[in-house]
Structure 1
Amino acid sequence: MSFWETITGSDLTREWKAFEVRAAALPADYRAAWEQIKAHLFAYGDFTGRNLTPIVDGALGLLEETAADGQDLQDVLGDDIAGFCAALAGGQGARTYRDRWRAQLNRNVARKLSRLGG
């Protein structure tokens, strides 16, 4: 990956387009699950989303394998797709971007308050 690709994000665009091409080959119910997985995983992404590409690749691979094997989607993902995505991102305690922003805001406010009080 070149510096220019890193700055512009063109490498990510290429990867996500490849993911979407792969997902288009899935059966309809698997494509619907893919859309839900994407929606739930974005909350765990960093600013660029680069940390999600291996996770998304693995999730899409799982959907492709189970579709090829003819397994029931319910048996693979269960009833809770949000919980499935949380487990993929690092477990129930995985921090979302909101958690990181909230912590940063709290640190900044605490620093400002300590300067006023001191």
Structure 2
Amino acid sequence: MSFWETITGSDLTRQWHRFDARARALPADHQAAWEQITVHLYPYADFTGRNLTPILDAALSLLEEAAADGQSAHEVFGDDIAGFCTALAGGAGARTYRDRWREQLNSNVARKLGRLGG
């Protein structure tokens, strides 16, 4: 990956286009599951989303294998796609972007208050 790709995110854009093309080739129920997976995993992304690319690739591969084996998305994930995504992201205590923003805000406020009070 070049410096330009890192700065602009063009490599990620190409990757997302490849994901979309792969997902469009899936049966309808698998496509719906893919949409739910992306929605539920998005909060675990960092600013660029680079940390989710390998996770999304693995989830999409699982959907492709299930479709090739004739399994429905429900057979693979059951009723809890959100729980599956939480497990993929590192479990129930995994930090989301909101957690990181909250920590940054609290740190900035504490630093400003420390300057004002000291």
Read off the aligned partner of 1:25 and give its amino acid letter.
Answer: A
How many angstroms does 1:59 deviate by?
0.3
| Residue matched to 1:25 | 25
Unpaired segments of 5 or more residues in structure 1? none
Residue 70 in structure 1 maps to residue 70 in structure 2: yes
Question: Who is 1:49 aligned against?
Answer: 49
TM-fit CA distance, 1:117: 2.5
The corresponding residue for 1:81 is: 81
Name the TM-score, length of structure 1 as normaliser. Answer: 0.94
| Range 44-53 or range 77-86, more displaced | 77-86
Counterparts of 2:40 and 2:82 in 1: how far apart (Å)? 6
| 1:21, distance to aligned residue in structure 2 (A) | 0.6
Question: 8 Å contact 2:29–2:72 — kept in the other structure?
Answer: no
Task: Name the residue aligned to 1:59.
Answer: 59
Superposed CA RMSD in Å reads 1.0
- One-letter code of the match for 1:59? A
Q: Secondary structure at the match of 2:52?
A: helix
Distance 1:112 1:7 in 2: 30
| Matched AA of 1:28 | A
Mapped partners of 1:70, 1:111: distance in 2: 57
Could you tell me which amino acid in structure 1 is paired with residue 78 of structure 2? G
CA contact (8 A) 2:44 2:94 kept: yes
- How far off is 1:85 after superposition? 0.8
Name the TM-score, length of structure 2 as normaliser. Answer: 0.94
Gaps of 5+ in 2: none
Residue range with higher mean Cα deviation, 69-78 or 80-89? 69-78
Moved more, 80-89 or 69-78: 69-78
One-letter amino acid matched to 2:60? L
Which residue matches 1:4?
A: 4
How far off its partner does 1:6 sit? Answer: 1.1
- Paired letter, 1:38: T
